[in-house]
Amino acid sequence: MNRSCTVRALLFTFLLPVGLATAQDLDVQAAADAIEPKVIEWRRDFHENPELSNREFRTAGVIAAHLESLGIEVQTGVAHTGVVGILRGASDGPVVGLRADMDGLPVVERGDLPFKSEITTTYRGQEVGVMHACGHDTHMAILMGVAEILAADRDQFRGTVKFLFQPAEEGPPEGEEGGAELMVKEGALKNPDVDAIFGLHIWAENDIGTIGYRPRGLMAGVQDFQIKVHGVQAHGSAPWMGIDPVVTAAQIINGLQTIVSRTVQLTRDPAVVTVGSIHGGVRSNIIPEELEMVGTIRTFSDSDKELVHQRIRDVAHGVADAMGARVEVTIPLSTSYPVTFNDPELTARMVPSLERAAGAENVQLIDAVTGAEDFSFFANEVPGLYFFLGGKPLGQAKEDTPSHHTPDFHIDEAGMKLGVKAMLNLTLDYLNGADN
């Protein structure tokens, strides 16, 4: 893990080659203004045609064709459907990675947008709608705009830009690998080797025109878990003749809630244990033989992760023993992301670049977020900076804003232009060694 390592190319002290521009020299505002209509058009196309994790075939084709049209070297089929673009500047220098995620979610869109998704597909054996309910459509469109601007000005920077369009951020289908973890495994950060990586996430709760960031732990590490409770089936009218897994599960769930409130040192870092799904039984008068529950764990340190995992096992087995039942605990079940960690040196160096994009008053130090991001796999390999881009219409109350992963999720497209400016500033200042 390279969290504490010195950012190699970022801290070069030599003078800029004559003729190379930092973001302070290039008219980033004009470039972002000019590309904005295309960015909006691309976003609407992706929004209308979403695809689930590891199935982003059309999406990948659109991205690859765009990058190829710009004269960017393109690799496809990375981590199943990912696309990597390599743009070389005027001379040798650092290598910057820029990442955007590609997948949609199994959510039926409820809004009335003219580009509303009507796509359906099969997910876990069920017919579902598909929607960009987390803003990945905006991330791709922003990065395509950045790619077009940088490709037109490749003689204005040294080094290399690596565009990483990543599938399956929401997690690969059961039984498959995917996402940033698989991209890293397949060498997406190598040849040329990335020195630092930047990423953004549009955020529906924050006003457009704002950027939120945090050094060190920005987003939680996450693991999902499964608890299977095995009892003895009986008639519902004679519960004493069986061992009830439903009542056992209820006691386990209550016990799990004490892990965070009574075990984790919350003054140091937050933590979450949530049971999100519970299934057991088929009718009212049959005590079932078994029951399954699944949930999610969020922590900000390895020590808290290990503590919470052990306490979940202790609680589940302890309650089951007391009830005469038996449990199987699986952690993780299918998903395990590290903490999304912003390298402190890189963050401190690049915050002025974000402030020039948004205005210093609009760049805010934020609290840690208990959501999770598999950008963390990239940032575990090389120094990374991940930030939040405001997507809420000005004047709209937070409490009236539909959250991510919901049928009514919506962002204001006017916020995307700042994403283009921010990524341009970060890239050019890093590559050309601006003294921030």
State which residues form the domain around 239.
221-330
Indicate if 66 and 189 belong to the same structural domain.
yes
- CATH number of residue 242's parent domain: 3.30.70.360
pLDDT of residue 11: 36
pTM: 0.90
pLDDT in tens, 234-253: 999 999 999 999 999 999 99
Indicate if 373 and 387 belong to the same structural domain.
yes
Q: What does the pLDDT average to over 58-82?
A: 98
Q: Tell me the three state secondary structure of residue 83.
A: strand
* Distance in angstroms (rounded) separating the CA atoms of residues 348 and 342: 10
The answer as to whether 181 is a domain residue is yes
pLDDT of residue 24: 62
**pLDDT classification of 124: cutoffs 50, 70, 90:** confident
**Which of 213, 337, 386, 430 is the catalytic position?**
337
For 427, how many CA atoms within 13 A lie in the half-sphere containing its CB? 34
In percent, how much of the chain has pLDDT > 90? 91
Indicate if 175 and 300 belong to the same structural domain.
no
Where a domain ends, among 300, 330, 360? 330
Indicate if 60 and 183 belong to the same structural domain.
yes
What mean pLDDT value characterizes the chain? 94
Where a domain ends, among 330, 348, 365? 330
Number of compact structural domains in the chain: 2
Indicate if 366 and 319 belong to the same structural domain.
no
Q: Is 413 considered catalytic here?
A: yes
Q: Which phi-psi region, left, alpha or beta, contains residue 399 (left: φ > 0; alpha: ψ -120 to 50)?
A: alpha
Indicate if 50 and 118 belong to the same structural domain.
yes
Q: Tell me the three state secondary structure of residue 204.
A: strand
Nearest alpha-carbon partner for 35 in 185, 203, 153: 153
- CATH number of residue 174's parent domain: 3.40.630.10
